[in-house]
Chains A and B, each alone.
Chain A
């Protein structure tokens, strides 16, 4: 007989990152600043960062979902794409994926370091969260295709115009996640 799973709080973390002094490279940062005041995300922690750094691993370990907002050079300018990240060993602390549990798995090969310490990628952060704190959240990247990365504080028009779509995508992800968490986790007796 298995023990009932604990009811897990839904904690969503949104991290928008990029260099706000390099025009469209800062789209993630700008998007996070916009989302911080969005009433649809009232219960969500939204942070704007210059870059991802190892110290975010602890914050990730407390989350059930992390949404990362970033620039993309691989899609047309202004295009918003949503993709789940390769599992870094899977799920939140509420999943049966804690180290030692039957469902536990190692970070995927994509999460192992190939990055430098100057650039910490999402996969590495998730792997650190799992290794050090026993928990890594679901992770989704919302990318915006960019036009320029030269010096400048403003987004190019097409990229700036994509910010509402980014906000809608994030709000949708959060709503879906909250519904999923509410449906999956029964109360403890």
Chain B
């Protein structure tokens, strides 16, 4: 008799989700689905608004990565205005965006994932939490707090405030940078670098403990997508789209980001509000690909900054030129963070970073605009259509978590197959199903780690709906 296991809710996500695991008559896992059950509706509620409001509105999509939406939205409006930000304006947007990369990656690694990595996935939740990390490895906890604080401060000092800042606007940024703020940020660079390098050193020394997880946490062949500059370096703000396959063969390169619709399709499934994107050339559902820190390292030739490139070389020596296991998102996230810090320093030491000319102005010159950037979680696209008065008529958002949706489903299925046996729901299974989602740091991620107590309910149901087994905590 086949059965369905339901995990509902997946703990404390941005929004809500549940996981369904389908067993066949032999008790073997045949399918798993990651359902996003919350509807946000930004694509609809922004219709009718003046397009110049869009960056501020879109920032409200998220309290963790508002800058990502600000950047992509502002770029879409730039496109509608047919303007380029001034070089300094673009660089300041980069600095703010990179500040967010640092703080968001720090949250994901140090606060959400390090308890699992430090104590093991089966450790008592009373210990496997941020207080446990603080007691066991205070330097690690301090480093996470310090990195997140520094990243948030960059956003606050350059863009006005930490959450939903107003400093990124169509055409550039709202105000120039002062020497005092620049120097204040630069003063924090050495400690930020030291913090992430300590984390990398610890991770590398310990990663053999997680060989089993690395083999089973979303370890499958897929394509990868990210932005690279004209040198083939990681680019979090501009550049071109590059897609590689599981062997590193380039499937698409130097793709103008505004042409993404020619390459990426979107599918809607009835069991989730999260759209699934797919590589059109391979069709749905075969056209699975991944984005985010792991993808950025897989698609780029190099990061383009020295310390991160040194670590990238070691990363590739350890996990391969194209890392296929989603577990390695953790490692990649640290290198992504190191690169971001180095890039912030490089930008701030640029000769024109204090230039007063930081914004370009224009009216409505096109009826359609697309903005693309790299969010902490991966490539983000904002696509708007407006009338001649600049009133929004249509909006489509392709968010990083959507790019990774099929991959997350595949990862959950793999973990479930490895750990779910028979009719019993086990704690190790619960822990790992949640942990594999956490690798992707989806914009559901804040809820995939309970600090000490995962509020989780899982039911094993017979086809007639009868509850065969249940676990709740």
Contacts and interface: CB of A to CB of B under 8 A. Distances in A.
Interface string B372-407: 000000000000000000000000000000000000
Given A107-B131, A118-B12, A127-B131, A132 B138 contact: yes
B145 A117 contact: no
B447 A55 contact: no
B63 interface: yes
A114 interface: yes
Nearest to A55: B149
Nearest to A128: B134
A112 interface: yes
A149 B141 CA distance: 33
Contacts of B162: 50
A112 B452 contact: yes
B145 A113 contact: no
Contacts of A115: 451-452
Given A50-B63, A55-B152, A113 B446 contact: no
A117 B63 contact: no
Interface string A103-134: 00001000111111111000010011001100
Interface string B200-235: 000000000000000000000000000000000000
Contact of A114 (B144, B446, B452): B452
Interface in A43-100: 50-51, 53-55, 57-58
A54 B449 CA distance: 15
A116 B148 CA distance: 17
Contact of A131 (B135, B149, B450): B135
A47 to B, nearest CB: 11
B356 interface: no
A111 B162 CA distance: 26
A114 B453 contact: yes
B451 A131 contact: no
Interface string B250-276: 000000000000000000000000000
Contacts of A116: 11-12, 446-447, 449-451
B142 interface: yes
A54 B145 contact: yes
Contacts of B134: 127-128, 131-132
**Most chain A beta-carbon neighbours within 10 Å: one of B12, B107, B449, B451:** B451
Given A21-B60, A54-B144, A128 B130 contact: yes
Contacts of B452: 112-115
A127 to B, nearest CB: 6
Contact of A117 (B60, B152, B451): B451
Contacts of A119: 12
A54 B148 contact: yes
B432 interface: no
Nearest to B454: A116
B389 to A, nearest CB: 26
Secondary structure class of chain A's binding surface, majority of residues: loop
Given A55-B149, A112-B452, A124-B131, A117 B107 contact: yes
Contacts of B14: 118
B117 interface: no
B282 interface: no
B112 interface: yes
B129 interface: yes
Interface in B392-440: none
Contacts of A128: 130-131, 134, 141, 145
B449 A57 contact: no
B123 interface: no
B446 A118 contact: yes
B453 A131 contact: no
Nearest to B128: A113
A118 B447 contact: yes
A58 B149 contact: yes
Contacts of B144: 54
A156 to B, nearest CB: 21
Instruction: Determine which residue in A50, A117, A119 has the highest number of CB atoms from chain B within 10 A of its CB, and name it.
Output: A117
A143 to B, nearest CB: 22
A116 B434 CA distance: 14
A131 B111 contact: no
Nearest to A59: B149
B63 A113 contact: no
Contacts of A113: 129-132, 450-453
Nearest to A131: B134
A113 B125 CA distance: 9
A35 B118 CA distance: 42
A112 B131 contact: yes
Nearest to B451: A113
Contacts of B347: none
A117 B449 CA distance: 7
Given A54-B111, A57-B145, A58-B145, A117 B138 contact: no
A117 B112 contact: yes
Given A50-B63, A128-B130, 7 more contacts: A21-B60, A50-B163, A58-B145, A107-B131, A118-B14, A131-B131, A132-B138
Interface of B: 11-12, 14, 60, 63, 107, 111-112, 126, 129-132, 134-135, 138, 141-142, 144-146, 148-149, 152, 162-163, 446-447, 449-453
8 contacts: A58-B149, A112-B126, A113-B451, A117-B446, A117-B451, A124-B451, A131-B135, A132-B138
Which 4 A-B pairs have CB atoms at the shortest separation, nearest pair first?
A: A113-B452, A113-B451, A118-B446, A55-B149
